[in-house]
């Protein structure tokens, strides 16, 4: 079991690291956080640092190693960058943090990064240390910590794709996180969706439209970049969800979804997503099949330039998007088709910041059975198994190095990227125990082999 001392140490480390505003794009604070994690890995865990270097000015990829002489190696992946936050609306300062008692949830640590993902990072490392200090760590561990997960993990993906990548071949890779979404049963995802991020933009120029905002009385004879942008956006995605295409689920996926549907609660899911209604009606089976099989183009922001202008023809307009696809579809294919269509819209430009495909693993892949068993012993209810997550993670980049890549961990958090991001104290302890249990079970498998 995770001792009180280990739990308190992990909570204290979470608090220390959440106080570092390692927001994406802040090179100084990201470097500060990377140094803090590297120092802890060396001094507290006694790990060998394989790499802590920055590549092309990007946040460092941290790669540490614990070798206990086991025939089995696993990868534990996590992240040290966070999304921006300001104090407005928070119960505590997001970069100071504190304990808050939420109605219906309980005592929780609140801070930017509490859930996503400095709490899980600190808890993961202390779970490893607890086993190591007792001589109970029976698998070699490759520790990979990402400094730009919120920006697409480009440096980590490049690191893993290098032909000379020093990451050792592993049975399984896990991404420790709080998987009791909304306080429900812990989830096991056997894969991840693909994602592309970018911007569609129209600026005044040779095609027409002003180069600076002008009086709106000119509308009859001067084109509006906002109007052109709306025309461009009408060429991709079906309202109101941006649906692009659907795949047919294979037999294994259908079987998993059928089992999942027996306990899946759409009302609870809406409550967790702060939403009153879904975009379609149907049974749990129908809803799950739809969300898992559908590629979509989501608009996350829509702006005219200058912002909040009145009585003008704007000089530009832009829309930020995320294009998500189930594992068998590649977002790059949809973007290539969209780029061709945009040729019919004067002034419209597609800027792609990042894109990578999804990836899935079999239900019997190494690490899955141990994860399910760890949930059975630490969580409040039987786990839910999903064929893949509707969210994205660079699972494809880990596939050459590990036979599975799994989001893993009991425990409850919430409000990631939002106000009052939190992790429950009770859930944090369960999370640490679930990670320690998974490592112990993987060690037992190695000894039995």
Domains of the chain, by residue range, sit at 4-190+361-448, 194-252+283-356
What does the alpha-carbon distance between residue 20 and residue 95 come to, in Å, rounded to a whole number? 7
* Residue that has been written with the tokens 């749990």 in this structure: 284
Residue 273's pLDDT is what? 85
Q: Dmax over Cα atoms in the chain, in whole Å?
A: 80
pLDDT surpassing 90 at residue 21: yes
- Tell me what the mean pLDDT of segment 215-240 comes to: 97
pLDDT bin (cut points 50, 70, 90) of residue 380 is: low
Average pLDDT, the chain: 95
Tokens of 324: 């998500």
Q: Select the more confidently predicted residue: 103 or 152.
A: 103
Taking domain 194-252+283-356, whether its CATH number is 3.30.950.10 is answered by no
Q: Where are the alpha helices (DSSP H) in 273-367?
A: 284-293, 331-341
- Tell me what the mean pLDDT of segment 52-64 comes to: 93
Residue 318's pLDDT is what? 98
Cβ atoms 415, 422 nearer than 8 A: yes
What does the alpha-carbon distance between residue 213 and residue 18 come to, in Å, rounded to a whole number? 42
> Do the two domains 4-190+361-448 and 194-252+283-356 of this chain adopt the same fold?
no
User: Percent of the chain scored above 70 by pLDDT?
Assistant: 100
What does the alpha-carbon distance between residue 316 and residue 204 come to, in Å, rounded to a whole number? 6
Tokens of 436: 């320690």
What does the alpha-carbon distance between residue 158 and residue 287 come to, in Å, rounded to a whole number? 36
- Tell me what the mean pLDDT of segment 50-74 comes to: 95
Secondary-structure breakdown of the chain: helix, strand, coil percentages, each rounded to the nearest 5: 35, 25, 40
CATH architecture for residues 4-190+361-448: 3-Layer(aba) Sandwich (3.40)
Q: Which of 10-14, 24-28, 294-298 has the lowest mean pLDDT?
A: 24-28
Residue 26's pLDDT is what? 94
pTM of the full structure: 0.90
CA 32 to chain centre: 22
Residue 168's pLDDT is what? 97
- Tell me what the mean pLDDT of segment 178-192 comes to: 92
From 5, 41, 127, 10, select the one nearest 436 (Cα to Cα). Answer: 127
pLDDT surpassing 90 at residue 23: yes
CA distances from 4 to 42, 94, 120, 229 (A): 23, 26, 17, 56
β partners of residue 349: 201
pLDDT surpassing 80 at residue 254: yes
What does the alpha-carbon distance between residue 138 and residue 231 come to, in Å, rounded to a whole number? 59
């Amino acid at each position: 079991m995770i001792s009180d001392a280990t739990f308190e140490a992990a909570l204290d480390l979470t608090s220390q690291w959440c106080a570092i505003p390692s927001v994406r794009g802040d090179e100084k604070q990201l470097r500060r956080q990377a140094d803090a994690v590297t120092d802890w890995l060396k001094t507290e865990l006694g790990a060998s640092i394989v790499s802590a270097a920055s590549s092309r000015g990007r946040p460092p990829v941290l790669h540490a190693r614990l070798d206990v002489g086991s025939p089995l190696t696993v990868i534990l992946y996590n992240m040290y960058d966070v999304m921006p936050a300001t104090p407005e609306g928070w119960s505590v300062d997001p970069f100071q943090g504190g304990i808050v008692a939420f109605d219906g949830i309980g005592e929780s640590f609140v801070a930017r990064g509490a859930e996503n993902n400095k709490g899980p990072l600190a808890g993961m490392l202390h779970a490893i240390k607890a086993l190591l200090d007792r001589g109970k760590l029976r698998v070699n561990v490759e520790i990979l910590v990402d400094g730009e997960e919120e920006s697409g993990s480009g440096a980590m993906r490049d690191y893993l794709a290098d032909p000379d990548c020093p990451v050792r071949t592993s049975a399984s890779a896990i991404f420790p996180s709080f998987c009791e979404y909304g306080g429900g049963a812990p989830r096991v995802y056997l894969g991840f969706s693909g994602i592309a991020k970018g911007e569609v933009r129209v600026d005044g120029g040779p095609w027409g439209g002003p180069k600076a905002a002008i009086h709106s009385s000119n509308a009859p004879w001067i084109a509006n970049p906002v109007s052109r942008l709306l025309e461009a956006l009408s060429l991709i995605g079906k309202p109101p969800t941006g649906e692009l295409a659907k795949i047919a689920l294979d037999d294994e996926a259908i079987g998993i979804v059928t089992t999942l549907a027996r306990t899946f609660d759409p009302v609870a899911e809406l409550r967790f997503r702060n939403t009153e209604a879904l975009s379609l009606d149907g049974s749990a089976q129908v809803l799950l099949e739809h969300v898992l099989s559908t590629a979509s183009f989501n608009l996350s922001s829509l702006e005219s330039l200058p912002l909040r202008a009145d009585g003008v023809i704007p000089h530009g307009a832009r829309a930020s998007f995320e294009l998500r696809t189930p594992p068998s579809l590649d977002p790059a294919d949809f973007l290539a088709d969209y780029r061709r269509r945009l040729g019919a819209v004067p002034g419209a430009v597609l800027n792609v910041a990042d894109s990578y495909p999804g990836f899935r693993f079999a239900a019997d892949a190494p690490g899955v059975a141990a994860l399910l068993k760890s949930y059975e012993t630490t969580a409040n209810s039987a786990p839910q198994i999903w064929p893949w997550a509707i969210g994205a993670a660079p699972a494809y980049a880990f596939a050459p190095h590990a036979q599975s890549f799994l989001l893993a961990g009991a425990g409850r958090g919430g409000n990631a990227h939002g106000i009052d991001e939190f992790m429950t104290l009770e859930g944090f302890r369960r999370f640490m125990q679930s990670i320690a249990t998974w490592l112990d079970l993987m060690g037992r498998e190695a000894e039995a082999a």
